[in-house]
Structure 1
Amino acid sequence: MLMKSMKKLSLLLMVGAIGISLLFNSCSMDDGYSLNDYWLGVATVEALDGGNHYFKMDNGTTLWPAAGYYLGHNLEVGQRTWLNFTILSDEKDGFDHYVKVNGVDPILTKEIAEDKGEENDSYYGTDPVTVKDIWVGGGYLNVIFKFNYGGTKKHFINLLPVTGSENAYEVEFRHHAYNDPSEAAVAGIVCFDLSSLPETEGETVKLKVHFKTFNGDKTFELEYNSDKETVTGGNSGNMSIDMNFFETVN
């Protein structure tokens, strides 16, 4: 079962909302997969009995890391990752694919933060961002964004409930730059665990997400169903992201 939520990868990490498509090469295996082909996508680290881990894509596809660069990463359950992998086989032992992991990079993964009321602005910040992509998948709100960075301070990224709102599915994205100089526009990605929101009990609701952007306030409405493994939203806009930069965003 190939991932439907993928698009093409160039020599740079041209990252879209959900992932990329297969790059075809001549060398192939008996089941039709090539060891020279690779995929990149957002995946969540999941646990098995005995301390073993596997990866789960946003559309529910499960991947068993049968080979490759994986052991020793000490990834925690629930950690979101950019996963670079090669498919070795189709469905086997209860997993959709056995894969060779070519690389795995942790993504900033956070829970919804506490609403501090009148202290929200001073604590969480009010600095603007540019939203490049936003989608709900894997039980997470996922945001690819750009912001100004000077390299003198670590930035603070959060998602919190809207103060005073009666809508439990209304949240706001916050960015605190701590007066870091605006020297360059850089890209970041963050995933927020939505499990603290009320269960939708089989219904699909509108998740409203507010941002302060460089062009003023902006609101996105995304479909959210806590009982379904679906991917909603995502404008599929490609952009280059330096994976090493994520350490600067807390």
Structure 2
Amino acid sequence: MKKIATALLSVWLLATAATLQSCDNDDDDYYIYPYARPTAIVTVKPNADNSSFYLQVDDSTTFIPTNMKVSPFGNKEVRALVNCTPTENPTAHQGQTVTINWIDSILTKPTVANLAEKNDSAYGNDPVEIVNSFETVAEDGYLTLRFRTRWASGRPHRVNLVHRTDVNTPYLLQFYHDAAPESAAGPVADGLVAFRLDSTFNEPDTTINITLQWNSYSGTKTHTFKYKPRKD
């Protein structure tokens, strides 16, 4: 199987990725347009023994794969980029049946502990930009972010998300980035990461506003997401 070019931090480096993992064949062919681009960002949801799985596209849309029986990521729930095409095969399940052309997981991790005034020293406060794209979204229990920064070869970057319960703003999440000093002169590239939101965000029965805060190259920035709490 073709693998995505290894990225620092194991995040999906959108600017440098040359190949993607194919899960419906094992040959050495590269995908060409229109299969080169992802058609959706999804949550991969296997059952307990990974004897079946489905893809959650958004709060109300599911995809049922017809050409893959089990998740290529085992019984772990992860966020992933997928290129798929609709099928006309009938199904007993609710959801659109699809053929998966390729699927590749992205870094999926929980939020980390809020250390208040020690957050910067623990998690880093290096500048980063959040990219306004379809990958940057709050849905299905996750905040998924496409971010842009400068990269230094051979030095992993760390990214973390903290629920700031020590401030007056409700549902405030702060994105932290720890880069190498030499990254300041490195090339610009994008990364992709998904954070599983804690249970606090899923307790309400109505849509809530989530505020994301980060240290950009031009100072502190914020963005508000509309989020529908996940109900499993």
Q: TM-score range by the shorter chain?
A: 0.7 to 0.9
CA distance in structure 1 between the partners assigned to 2:49 and 2:126 by the alignment? 44
Percentage of identical aligned residues: 26
Shift of 1:90: 6.2
**Number of equivalences:** 195
**What is aligned with 2:122?**
123
SS in 2 for 1:120: helix
Unaligned runs of 5+ in 1: 1-12, 15-35, 230-250
Structure 2: which 5+ residue stretches go unaligned?
Answer: 1-13, 16-32
Q: In the superposition, relative to structure 1, how do residues 222 and 90 fare at CA in structure 2: closer, same or farther (>3 Å)? A: farther
State the 1:104 CA deviation. Answer: 0.7
Q: Which amino acid aligns with 2:220?
A: D
Which residue does the alignment assign to 1:60?
A: 60
> Shift in Å at residue 180 of structure 1?
4.2
SS in 2 for 1:201: coil
In the alignment, is the contact (CA less than 8 A) between 2:145 and 2:192 conserved in 1? yes
Shift of 1:155: 0.6
Aligned to 2:99: 100
Quote the residue 2:149 is aligned against: 147
Structure 1 runs of 4+ off > 6 angstroms? 36-39
Secondary structure of 1:92's counterpart equals coil
Moved more, 187-196 or 43-52: 43-52
SS at match of 2:39: strand
Deviations 1:141-170 (A, max 9, x none): 121111110112111111102262144401
* Structure 2 residue matching 1:151: 3-state secondary structure: coil
Identify the residue that residue 213 of structure 2 maps to in structure 1. 210
DSSP 3-state at the match of 1:119: helix
The SS at the match of 1:197 is: helix
Structure 2 distance, partners of 1:120, 1:77, is 29
How far apart, in 2, do the equivalents of 1:171 and 1:116 lie? Answer: 13
Instruction: Indicate the RMSD between aligned Cα atoms, in angstroms.
Output: 2.7
**Distance in 1 of aligned mates of 2:190 and 2:95:** 32
Question: How far did residue 189 of structure 1 move?
Answer: 1.3
Structure 1 residues 199 and 86 mapped into 2: Cα distance closer, same or farther (>3 Å)? closer
- SS for the counterpart of 1:82 is strand
Separation of aligned partners in 2, 1:153 and 1:189: 17
Deviation for aligned residue 1:203 = 2.6
Q: Displacement of 1:75 after TM fit?
A: 4.1
Mark the CA change 1:139 to 1:227 in structure 2 (over 3 Å): closer, same or farther: closer
- Residue pair 1:44, 1:79 contacting (<8 A) in 2 also: yes
Q: In 2, are the aligned partners of 1:151 and 1:180 still within 8 Å (CA)?
A: no
Q: Distance in 2 between matches of 1:99 and 1:59?
A: 18
Residues 53 and 70, structure 2, Cα contact 8 Å, conserved in 1 = no
Q: TM (normalized to structure 1)?
A: 0.68
Which of 175, 181, 187 aligns to 2:177? It is 175
**Equivalent residue, structure 1, for 2:191:** 188
Distance 1:128 1:42, change over 3 A: same
Of stretches 49-58 and 71-80 in structure 1, the one that deviates more from structure 2 is 71-80
CA contact (8 A) 2:67 2:100 kept: yes
Scaled by the length of structure 2, the TM-score of the pair is: 0.73
Instruction: Measure how far apart 1:118 and its partner are.
Output: 3.4
Q: Which amino acid aligns with 1:185?
A: V
1:216 & 1:166 partners in 2: Cα distance? Answer: 21
Task: Provide the secondary structure at the position in 2 that maps to 1:181.
Answer: helix
For residues 171 and 227 of structure 1, do their structure 2 counterparts lie closer, same or farther at Cα, with a shift above 3 Å needed?
Answer: same
Tell me which protein shows more strand as a share of its residues. 1
Matched residue, 2:19: none
1:82 corresponding residue in structure 2: 81
Contact 2:202–2:231 (CA under 8 A) maintained in structure 1: no
Give SS of 1:147's match. Answer: strand
| Structure 1 residues 177 and 43, CA gap change in structure 2 (3 angstroms) | same
